[in-house]
Chain A
Amino acid sequence: MSDAKPRTDAKPKRKKSRIRWRPWLRAMHRDIGYLAIGLTLVYALSGLAVNHIADWDPSFRQIDKTHQVKGPFPREEKARAQYVLDQLGRKQKPKEVFEISDTELEIVFEKRTLHVDTEQGEVLEEGQEPRFMLRAANWLHLNRGKKAWTWIADGYAVFLLFLALSGLFMIPGRKGLIGRGAVLAAVGAAVPIAYVVLSGGP
Chain B
Amino acid sequence: MIYRPSMRRRDFIRTASEGTLVVAFGGGVYAVAPSEAYAKQKRSDGRPRVPPGQRVLTALKPMGGSPGSPSRSQFRLKVYGEVEKPFELDFKQLLAFKKKTRKSDVHCVTGWTVLDAVWTGTRVRDLAKKAKVKKTAHYVIFEAAHGYTANVPLKEALGPKVMVAHRLGGKPLRRAHGAPVRVVVPDLYFWKSAKWLTGIRFVKRDQPGYWETRGYHNHADPWKEERHS
Contacts and interface: CB of A to CB of B under 8 A. Distances in A.
Judge: A and B partners, yes or no: yes
Interface of A: 50, 53-55, 57-60, 62, 64, 95-96, 98, 100-101, 104, 106, 108, 112-113, 115, 124, 126-128, 138-139, 144, 202
Given A100-B95, A108-B71, A53 B175 contact: no
Contacts of A112: 175
A66 to B, nearest CB: 9
Given A113-B175, A124-B172, A138-B64, 17 more contacts: A53-B64, A54-B108, A54-B112, A57-B62, A57-B64, A59-B64, A60-B62, A96-B71, A96-B74, A100-B92, A106-B172, A108-B71, A115-B171, A126-B175, A127-B175, A128-B175, A202-B229
B228 interface: yes
B64 A124 contact: no
B136 interface: no
Contacts of A62: 62, 176
A52 to B, nearest CB: 9
Interface residues of B, number: 27
Interface string B57-81: 0000111101100111110000000
Nearest to B229: A202
B208 interface: no
Nearest to A59: B64
Interface of B: 61-64, 66-67, 70-74, 91-92, 95, 108, 110-112, 146, 171-172, 174-176, 179, 228-229
B64 A64 contact: no
Contacts of A108: 70-71
B68 to A, nearest CB: 12
Contact residues of B: prevailing secondary structure: loop
B186 to A, nearest CB: 19
Closest A-B pairs by Cβ, 8 of them: A54-B110, A98-B73, A57-B62, A126-B174, A115-B172, A144-B66, A59-B64, A54-B112
A58 B110 contact: no
Query: In the complex, which of the residues B73, B91, B111 has the most CB atoms of chain A within 10 Å of its own CB atom?
Result: B73
Contacts of A58: 64
A57 B110 CA distance: 13
17 contacts: A53-B64, A54-B108, A54-B112, A57-B62, A57-B63, A59-B64, A98-B72, A104-B172, A106-B172, A108-B70, A108-B71, A113-B179, A124-B172, A127-B70, A127-B174, A138-B64, A144-B66
A53 B174 contact: no
A138 B174 CA distance: 21
Contact of B72 (A53, A95, A106): A106
Contacts of A96: 71, 73-74
Contacts of A64: 174
A54 B72 contact: no
A168 to B, nearest CB: 18
A57 B176 contact: yes
Contacts of B175: 112-113, 126-128
B146 A144 contact: yes
Contacts of B111: 54
A128 B176 contact: yes
